[in-house]
Amino acid sequence: MNVYDLPIRPRRNRRTESIRSIVREHSVSSTDLIQPMFVCEGNQKSEAIVSMPGIFRLSTDLIVKECVALFELGVPGVALFPAISDSKKDKKATESLNDDGLLQTTVRAIKAAVPGITVITDVAMDPYSSDGHDGFVNDQGEIVNDVTLDILANMAISQARAGADMVAPSDMMDGRVGVIREALDDHGFTNVGILSYSAKYASSYYGPFRDALSSAPKSGDKKTYQMDPANVREAIYEVELDIAEGADMVMVKPGLPYLDVLRAVSEISNVPVAVYNVSGEYAMLRAAAEKGWLDYQKAVLEALLSFKRAGADMILTYHAKEAAEWLKSK
């Protein structure tokens, strides 16, 4: 056997597990993860979401139990999404302003049971809207930006009053971060942060989420406010605008098909960058695993690592609890 005179042999740094761990550039820990959760009305209620195996709509009491378990596993935060009955939906998302509504009640219950966990609330009209859009729809079918801003600002105030640590506008209306920041400050909520869905694309990967909340648009689509999947420079522009308006953190959504966008955003952002590993991404891995086509645990952890490698500081993912369990057992 010939032994060649190769002064450079990169494999030396991959020879043993301990060497590989020493030179490893990125890693995932439970503190990187935020668990999105769907809350429904009722008590001791757990409703399976068919398109998201292993994920459930949970009543407030069960959400609280999950938060206790997540926090014990080292997951520092949850993002809440309410499943509102159709009877409470209207064109102006009035139920979103109810201080005794489902979301607000759940926030208070979580903070009473697990004061240290970070509670992030969604600011958008679609869970509460009879039109299923993130903004106000006029009689001509147009999404009216500035009418929506007032609704979003009041929604954020109600969520902050309930005890939310951070509000997360996911609507993609122009100027909403600045309007929400001003409204929060004017009402004394200067310590409530804003995690802005700054680069949210009009993606095909949201289907299971809309199943979970019955929040799909009743007509049209969301392309006049969510971003064109073809664009990267536009994402940078949106991020820079949101930071200038007062965003404490920014987000790229979806995750896996937009790693290039995540990298570009992370390179210019001077605030922490989140990525949302969305419902369709979760469902794909679940479906492939159920078919026996891949090792589910390894594939999930590899996907989460890809977000960190691309520059994410935090990951909203439906895998958060199971990933934290796997990481703890290592």
Residues 6+ apart with CB under 8 A from 68: 113, 114
Listed as own residue / partner, the contacts of 73-76 with beta carbons closer than 8 Å and 24 or more positions apart are 73/30, 73/321, 73/324, 73/325, 73/328, 74/29, 74/30, 74/31, 74/324, 74/328, 75/30, 75/31, 75/33, 75/34, 75/35, 75/320, 75/321, 75/324, 76/30, 76/31, 76/33, 76/34, 76/117, 76/118
Which phi-psi region, left, alpha or beta, contains residue 306 (left: φ > 0; alpha: ψ -120 to 50)? alpha
Expressed in percent and rounded to 5, the helix, strand and coil fractions of the chain are 45, 20, 35
Of the residues 88, 111, 253, 308, only one is catalytic, namely 253
Our measurement of the distance from residue 74's CA atom to the centroid of its chain's CA atoms, rounded to an integer in Å, reads 18
Asked whether 266 and 272 are in contact (CB, 8 A), the reply is no
CA atoms of 79 and 37, how far apart (whole Å): 6
Of the residues 200, 222, 308, 321, only one is catalytic, namely 200
- Comparing C-alpha atoms, which of 256, 255, 257, 260 is closest to residue 274? 255
Reply yes or no on whether 253 is catalytic: yes
**Three-state DSSP state, 49:** coil
Reply yes or no on whether 200 is catalytic: yes
Work out the angle at residue 150's Cα, subtended by the Cα atoms of residues 146 and 154, and round it to the nearest 5 degrees.
160
In the chain, DSSP finds a helix count (H) and a strand count (E) of: 11, 12
CA atoms of 330 and 327, how far apart (whole Å): 5
Residues marked as catalytic: 200, 253
